[in-house]
């Protein structure tokens, strides 16, 4: 079988072996419904509760503040719809221009339903301006939803400071922490975030399980109505194997975060430095902002990201042009456009996102293959040394 060089961990991650093992009994042995009255179902509830506890330790919150959902998208929708339902007189939402489609497309839809939305701009390093947020908050603002870390650039937003501002103004604050959970410290006991979303498949558990944290005391209206599961906050029979899997993955993430981050950051830095040294006319996106340790968004001038991905794919390398959800379109992503990256470079953007399963040999392989790939594509696109240069790579200092 062809060797796979998997550098697309912000799209999804490999399930840890221990996570898979922990889940297995819940398919064929412990398959009862936790809501059943009989012993066979009842015994399963205890594993759901244990998992809730493990996830609460990763997030620094109370177990009862955790609601299981089917994915990050559902958590985001639930949080925003809840904020609007509990504030029926408030019709204004604030978000950023670089959110994941799970938030941005929901906001666009809500604009057609009588809500007004402020999309906060970012600077060329992908960072929002806190003063813009302060002046955007209005008496009729129902909710502010700003992601913790951006899926394309890895840029980390100051969500704890944003939570303080919202709290002072009496506005609910939700953060999409899908890319942050398991990669950076989250301690909800130390901040005023009201609601937070995570998704299992970004931290080495399966696709199709998510969590919404809702702080105790925050008014909440459920999104799915039906049975009494999750104390009436999310109807639908619990996905027990996946809940157990996410609990295990959270436990592993918490125990190893520092060590794994150091490892992954070193690989990312080697890749980043190597690419800018070997290939002229590159731009590292979000370079001057705090970034997730595993994410590298790099633009190669005068080539097309899709063509790069195809050539890399032929060599077994899996990366992404930006958000996997928006691939299939040749338009630069809304994130790169919001950062005002010139079209000539935005188009040639590749996102490498690493995990602990990557190795230094794999990074060396990319560094060997990539210069030739870009050279070939630039020859086709008639790029030459006269073409205006646009690079910030010389600013790299690590």
CB 300, CB 279: distance < 8 Å = yes
- Could you tell me which stretch among 69-77, 107-115, 227-235, 294-302 binds ligand PLP (CB under 6 A)? 69-77
| Segment lying near ligand PLP (by CB under 6 A), choices 176-184, 214-222, 283-291, 335-343 | 176-184
> Taking CB under 6 A as the rule, does residue 199 contact ligand PLP?
yes
What x-and-dash track marks residues 229-268 binding ligand PLP by CB under 6 A? ----------------------------------------
Number of residues this chain uses to bind ligand PLP (CB under 6 A):
12
Instruction: List, in sequence order, every residue forming a beta bridge with 66; answer none if it has no partner.
Output: 213
Using CB under 6 A as the binding rule, whether residue 152 contacts ligand PLP is answered as no
Should residue 126 be labelled a site residue for ligand PLP when binding is judged by CB under 6 A? no
Q: Which is nearer to ligand PLP, 152 or 260 (CB)?
A: 152
CB of 209 to ligand PLP, least distance (A): 8
Of all residues in the shown chain, the one whose CB is closest to ligand PLP is 72
Residues making up the chain, counted from first to last: 398
Task: Give the interface segment with ligand PLP, choosing from 68-76, 183-191, 229-237, 368-376 (CB under 6 A).
Answer: 68-76
Is 102 an interacting residue with respect to ligand PLP (CB under 6 A)? yes
Residues 163, 143: Cα–Cα separation, whole Å:
11
| DSSP E strands, the chain | 5-6, 66-69, 92-96, 116-120, 141-145, 172-176, 195-199, 210-214, 282-284, 295-300, 317-318, 349-353
- Angle 72-86/101-111 helices, nearest 10 degrees? 40
Report CA torsion sign: 197, 202, 203, 205.
Answer: positive
CB of residue 204 to ligand PLP, shortest distance in Å: 14
Interaction of residue 71 with ligand PLP, rule CB under 6 A:
yes
**Nearest by Cα to 181 from 92, 299, 57, 74:** 57
Judged by CB, which is closer to ligand PLP: 209, or 393? 209
Distance CA 8, CA 172 (A): 33
Instruction: Name the minimum Å distance from CB 351 to ligand PLP.
Output: 11
Catalytic site positions: 325
**Edge-to-edge strand order for the sheet containing 295-300?**
282-284, 295-300, 349-353
Which of 13, 51, 56, 73 binds ligand PLP (CB under 6 A)? It is 73
**Residue 197, strand partner residues:** 176, 212
Distance CA(380)–CA(358), nearest Å, equals: 31
Q: How many helices (DSSP H) and strands (DSSP E) are in the chain?
A: 12, 12
Q: Which residues pair with 221 in a beta bridge?
A: none
Query: Does the protein bind ligand PLP through residue 9 (CB under 6 A)?
Result: no
Q: Minimum Å distance from CB 1 to ligand PLP?
A: 27
Among 206, 210, 247, 301, binds ligand PLP (CB under 6 A): 210
Spatial separation of the C-alpha atoms in residues 260 and 182, rounded to whole Å: 10
Q: Is 319 in the site for ligand PLP (CB under 6 A)?
A: no
Name the minimum Å distance from CB 176 to ligand PLP.
5
Stretch in the footprint of ligand PLP (CB under 6 A) among 37-45, 66-74, 212-220, 328-336 = 66-74
* Positions in the binding site for ligand PLP (CB under 6 A): 71-73, 100, 102, 147, 151, 176, 178-179, 199, 210
């Amino acid at each position: 079988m062809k060797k796979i060089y998997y550098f697309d961990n912000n799209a999804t991650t490999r399930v840890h072996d221990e996570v898979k093992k922990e889940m297995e009994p819940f398919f064929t042995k412990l398959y009862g419904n936790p809501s059943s009255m009989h012993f066979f179902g009842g015994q399963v509830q205890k594993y759901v509760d244990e998992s809730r506890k493990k996830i609460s330790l990763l997030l620094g919150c109370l177990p009862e503040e955790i609601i299981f959902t089917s994915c990050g998208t559902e958590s985001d929708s639930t949080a925003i719809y809840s904020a609007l339902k509990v504030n029926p007189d408030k019709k204004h939402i604030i978000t950023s221009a670089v959110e994941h489609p799970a938030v941005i497309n929901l906001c666009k839809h809500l604009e057609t339903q009588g809500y007004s939305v402020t999309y906060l701009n970012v600077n060329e390093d992908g960072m929002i301006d806190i003063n813009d947020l302060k002046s955007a908050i209005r008496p009729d603002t129902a909710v502010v939803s700003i992601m913790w870390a951006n899926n394309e650039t890895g840029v980390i937003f100051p969500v704890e400071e944003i939570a303080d501002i919202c709290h002072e103004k009496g506005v609910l604050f939700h953060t999409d922490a899908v890319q942050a959970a398991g990669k950076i410290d989250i301690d909800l006991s130390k901040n005023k975030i009201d609601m937070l979303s995570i998704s299992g498949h970004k931290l080495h558990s399966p696709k199709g399980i998510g969590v919404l944290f809702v702080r105790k005391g925050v008014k909440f209206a459920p999104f799915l109505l039906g049975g009494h599961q999750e104390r009436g906050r999310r109807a639908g029979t619990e996905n027990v194997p996946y809940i157990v899997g996410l609990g295990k993955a959270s436990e592993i993430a918490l125990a190893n975060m520092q060590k794994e981050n150091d490892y992954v950051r070193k690989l990312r830095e080697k890749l980043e430095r190597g690419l800018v040294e070997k290939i002229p006319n590159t731009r590292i996106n979000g370079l001057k902002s705090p970034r997730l340790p595993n994410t590298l968004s790099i633009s190669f001038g005068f080539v097309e990201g899709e063509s790069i991905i195809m050539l890399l794919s032929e060599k077994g390398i899996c990366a992404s042009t930006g958000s996997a959800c928006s691939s299939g379109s040749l338009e630069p992503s809304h994130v790169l456009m919001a950062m005002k990256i010139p079209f000539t470079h935005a188009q040639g953007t590749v996102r490498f996102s690493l995990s602990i399963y990557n190795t230094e040999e794999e990074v060396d392989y990319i560094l060997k293959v990539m210069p030739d790939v870009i050279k070939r594509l630039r020859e086709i696109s008639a790029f030459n040394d006269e073409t205006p240069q646009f690079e910030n790579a010389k600013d790299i200092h690590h």
